[in-house]
Amino acid sequence: MSAAEDADYSEASASVADVPTPLTAFIGRDDELATVSGLLSTRRLITLTGPGGAGKTRLAAEVAHRRVADFPDGVFWVDLTLLSDDESVAEAAAAAVGAPPLGTRLRSLRDHLAARRALLCLDNAEHVLAGVAELVEAVLRSCPDVVVLVTSREPLSLPGETVLLVPPLKDADAVDLFVDRARSVQQEFAVNESSLRAVLSIAAHLDGVPLALELAAAWMRVLTPEQVEAGLEDRFSLLVRGPRGAPRRQLTLRGSIDWSYALLDDADRVIFRRLFVFAGSFTSTAAQVVCAEGEDVTSSDVLLAIRRLVDKSLLVTETRDGRARYRMLETIRAYATARAAQAGEQEVSRARHLGWCVAVAEDADRDRVSNPLTWRDEIAREYDNLVAGLQYGLAASDPQQGRQLAASLAWYWHFDQRGREGMTFLRAAIERGTQDRTLLQVRLLTGLAFVADTAGPLDVEYEAAAHALALAEEIGATAERAQCLLLSAVGSFYTDFGESWALCEKARESALTTGSSFVEGASGALQAMILHLRDEHAEAQAVAEGLQKELPHHPGIRSTLLAYQADGAFATGDLPRAQELAEQAVLLAEPLNDYLRLGLARSTLARIVAGRGHPEPAADLLVPFAQFAERDDVFIPGLNEALASLATQRGDAASAVAWLERPAAATERGAQTWISARALPQLGAALAALGRVDEAAEVFARAVDACRRLGLPGSLAQALCGQAELAANTPETLGRAAELQHEALAIRVHHGLVPAQIESVEALARVSALARPSVDAVRLLAAASAARARLGLPRTPTQQASYDQALSALQAVRDSADGENAASAGAAWDLQEAVAYARRAHGPRSRPTTGWASLTPTEVQVATTVAEGLSNPDVGARLSMSRSTVKTHLSHIYSKLGVANRTELAARASTQEQGTAEK
């Protein structure tokens, strides 16, 4: 019974049954009340257990008051607190029930209750368990209609006993209790936004234990909740003011736990003190490793001690994944820590715990590739303990074990939302070994780069990978060198596709010598992703298909690659396959519990589902991830863009702008990233939809420059279309709008971007309609609408508004016979026919079939790069192409220019550059 609870009952007003009468409100415990009340109807011995101050007495008294009517012969309350020996239990019970002093007190008690239907409540039994057990057994045997309710810090261990652990208060109930008791000492006490956070923190730190909460609330007369929260660092000094009349053991929080500690034998006290090192829950096996010590404390001693500590409510039992685990409430752990310090055992126990942590992490890491789910689960279960071990190990005079532990956890942080915390630990581990030129330092630097890949900032990844690579090459760490090359490629991936491609080639070559399927598969996947971003989707698909051997054991890589393939399938017009691939990516990522890859897969699927005209299911996909869109410590590529896409589908341009501003500003080492370049055209379109034309024009200009520089043809075309849409708003610039739309269409045709081609045909029809309404515009508009219908590609609200404007401009022509015929003819065309018709209408400005002007933008890049004297492999590395692709482009270039070799090509390129300069 808590100190406040004891004082809440008036001894003077005790009834014949002597059940305590509360003076303060009973708060919470609805589930426990229902459970205990139900048990009283079906069981004859119920024992409420729990640590000191858990509210056992208050719960028992509340149940007794509520069930008085069910026991017509009385409810009897026996307070055992002040008893000093087992023999006095029967005497106290006999006196409480009013048994006459005939014979022994136990016999007198049995005779008095033998024919009665009564409830006997025995409160605070833990220090006289033997006497209580003897009395209860005798009553149950001799008094068939008597039910016994016991409160104790440990069970009686009698046959037929039902034990109910009284849990901590639920969060909401803990807050209500604190506020209620605070108002009893400070009537004006009120909870605001700031103090609520402090009260919630107090409740969490005090484990929802009523005694601790009431002692804390008593300080509200002189302190604020924020001050009490800060004072809980030394909770045993703060929580010392129990109410007058409470038992001495419950006047302070320490006194309550001292009572339980005093009931332990010496061997159990040793184990109890040593268990303080476990910050989270732990298994009995872990406790044996940490607490057993030769012949003095054996593994069997530890197992038996754990059982007794559970019985005495100093350990809490929980079951996770079918295995029993144990933990101390935070307050009890703080007490055990103080006792360990008093005994001079802290350092030894922490060192043993650290050694166990290192073994756990390294053992789990061996399963990382072959069984990633098992590995993740094992680390997650022990994470609180591993962090405690890290904190101790990295602060130790010899940080070697702490550094080993940090290195073993890097992959976990790479996948987990606590990546920023992991980066802090890894940096500390690296700094503790700045002069270290060993494999461990390479692992730590590599680990930091891996974690930065998902937790940002990108420049940290690049710098850590570079340092790791230099050190790996210095010490000859071949396998680690391959990983470092891969990480360097990932670091370059966001700003320089050519450099990233070349590093991938080196990483793959290094992986072949070390047999690292992960590096080989990840490097190939990264190259396929580069090709998708460059809208070389057929080439990307070929690379992806060549990775089937390397990827089966790496579901994370497979999921990421599938997401990019889904984007590629959508861009090239295979919408059903795009959705199928994205769904596969989600299925692969879900079991990994990897927020980045699952977030990427779901974002991709959401964009595709929304693009196919189903915005609501798409929005549902992103509900668990929307919280990450504005966080700086979590990076999910494509999430903000997906949220912006959904907003655009709903016609909410303002929300689209808000979602896109962050990715549009993404940089790495001061350079613009492809993430930014791809977001800019979308941002410009959203700004234009809001009527912020000047801002939109500036954003589109930046997008064109960035997309040309980074090699993002699809996004470049999108930016050009954005510029064209702005130009189409003014009659004087309709010609410029047409030029820009044709340039965009040429890019989209070259790269096979089917849905985008439909948008181009529709946009060209609109420009034509605004310039001079004609049957050609009617034909193109009808062809685009038919292509949309066949593909299943609905318009966004903005696109619909532009389409409606074109229809309005063409109304007179559409109503004519020629217009009706043109509409019918256009609707019968396939997309290729419509595109060809639109490009022919561009007249002499269309690309010629020979000469320098006939080269596509990609062919121009290849020609000028070859003219610099680079070999085919070097050209491929710079332009993110395979060697076979470079050869194919060269054959086309030779044919169009009428040259026979690289020397003639170089001369032709030089002449072209000179002519351009003269112009």
Q: Residue 20: how many CA atoms within 13 Å on its side-chain side?
A: 23
* H, E, C per residue of 755-786: HHHHHHHHHHHHHHHHHCCCHHHHHHHHHHHH
Sign of the four-CA dihedral 818, 820, 823, 827 = negative
CA atoms of 284 and 161, how far apart (whole Å): 25
Question: In terms of pTM, does the model score above 0.85?
Answer: no
Ranges in the chain, pLDDT < 70: 1-17, 222, 231-256, 456-458, 550, 552, 632-634, 668-670, 841-849, 857, 880-882, 884, 913-919
pLDDT reported for residue 632: 67
Q: Which two tokens stand for residue 546?
A: 């060549």
The H or E element that residue 408 is part of is helix 400-415
Residue with tokens 């209860």: 136
Sign of the four-CA dihedral 776, 779, 784, 787 = negative
Q: What are phi and psi of 163, to 5 degrees?
A: -105, 130
CA atoms of 477 and 623, how far apart (whole Å): 44
pLDDT reported for residue 17: 52
Residue with tokens 């049995």: 110
Strand partners, 891: none
Residue 18: CB atoms within 10 A of its CB come to 19
pLDDT reported for residue 289: 92
Residues 489, 523 contacting (CB under 8 angstroms): yes
pLDDT reported for residue 919: 45
Q: Which amino acid is at 318?
A: E
Distances (CA, A) of 202 to 178, 187, 388, 389, 799: 9, 20, 21, 25, 54
pLDDT reported for residue 100: 85
pLDDT reported for residue 187: 81
